[in-house]
Amino acid sequence: MALIVPSESDVALVQRASEHLFDRLLRRGVEIYLWRETHMHAKTAVVDGVWSVVGSYNLDAVSMFQNNELVIESVGASFGAWMNQQFARDQAQCAPVTLAEWRRRPVWRRLIEWLAYRMRRWL
């Protein structure tokens, strides 16, 4: 499994809360890539090259209970293949995050990530 995530979010505490999970994901074999462009808002997924989703929905309480979010689901191999190709193009523009590199970040940054993660329900 591979994830492309923003290198910086428009909401810094949300970014730090997400980063709190990077170590755990990397240890479990998830590849993480940082999007270098100025902004990425779309959330996409492809499962088994057939089931795809594209949308704006965040996996948080605010999106679930307050925001009007949209997700479109598609079942089909041709769209799934196109989505996989687009992911590969996007991934080529990203910076990979390695576990060794991630563990070298400063202690103060880890503390901010931990605190932001604890406040995630209110972000």
Residues 66-114: tens digit of each pLDDT: 788 888 999 999 999 999 999 999 999 999 999 999 999 999 999 999 9
> Between these two residues, 113 and 9, which has the higher pLDDT value?
113
Cα separation, 16 vs 113, whole angstroms: 5
> Between these two residues, 28 and 122, which has the higher pLDDT value?
28
Residues 15-44: tens digit of each pLDDT: 999 999 999 999 999 999 999 887 777 889
Residue 65: what pLDDT? 78
* pLDDT at residue 122 greater than cutoff 90: no
